[in-house]
Amino acid sequence: MIKIKRLALAFVLFISVSAVSAQDLFMVRSKISFPETMLVLQNAITEQGYTVSRVQRVDIGLTKMGYKTDKYRIVFFGKLKEIEQLSKNHPELVPYLPIQISIFAENGQTLLVSANPQFLAKLYPDPELSNIFTRWEKDLHIILDKVLLE
């Protein structure tokens, strides 16, 4: 299971082109089961005004590499009009859109990991974007807190 945790951290680090520190990652450990946590997460995302665009299974590739897990997903979400506008006006952000949270089971718990959107502010110091990244950070905290409180 330690390998899975390392792989999740490596994935989140991979999506960032800058050096990542602890403040650039959000991690929540839920004591409820993976399916329940997934449901709470998706509900929290919706309640915060976002739409889940897709849930990508990662476990298939992991099991082919020898890892023993059947519960590993990446949840992609955003606000459609905002993503369309950002993609049009700031195509350099496309690799980071939509927002992502990795969720996986480990030792009877469920972990959620996401990159702090503020790391993008370091790469793209546009004041207009800074406000968006700040809002995303606040919303991610709210979403992850809802999962943590379940």
Across residues 18-32, what is the average pLDDT? 73
Alpha-carbon distance of 111 to 113, in angstroms, equals 7
Q: Please count the structural domains in the chain.
A: 1
pTM reported for the whole predicted model: 0.79
Across residues 8-15, what is the average pLDDT? 45
pLDDT (0 to 100) of residue 62: 65
Q: CATH number for the domain including 111?
A: 3.30.310.70
Of 33-47, 57-71, 95-109, give the range with the top mean pLDDT.
33-47
Across residues 103-126, what is the average pLDDT? 91
Domain extent for 141: 2-18+25-149
Half-sphere exposure of 110 (CA within 13 A, CB side): 25
